[in-house]
Amino acid sequence: MMEAGVHFGHGTKKWNPKMVPYISAKRKGIHITNLTRTARFLSEACDLVFDAASRGKQFLIVGTKNKAADSVEWATIRARCHYVNKKWLGASIIAAGLAVGLATIGPGIGQGTTAGQAVEGIVRQPEAEEKI
């Protein structure tokens, strides 16, 4: 995790005081995340996801950063999950009255898109259609 830069947090001016237990230091105006705690909580989160997946639960993975977009798409297609890897209107799925786990957002959704337009850009995956 250290090599990947996971320990670099937000700037010291952009943070929530509730994060104090998870910050190990401050360097050059950036909080340094406690990797020991991060690894433990990441492991617990993975266990929860694997448990939910084994019970047939659906997932929507969101990763809209440019560096993450290709990896998010590759991993979610491989795992047969739904994903968003482009900019999108937050809560557009919920605002449209759709269940979060049933849609893949197409690349046509961007900032300034209304919830109605967002619904038009949603592509339902075949296995999701069968469960509706």
Pair 100, 91: CB distance under 8 Å: no
Give the contacts of 124 (CB within 8 A, at least 6 positions apart). Answer: 102, 103, 104
| Residuewise pLDDT in 10s, the chain (132 residues) | 656 655 566 667 777 788 888 887 888 888 888 888 888 888 898 898 888 888 888 888 888 888 888 888 888 888 888 888 887 766 666 555 544 444 444 443 444 444 444 444 444 444 444 443
The domain limits of the chain are 1-56, 58-131
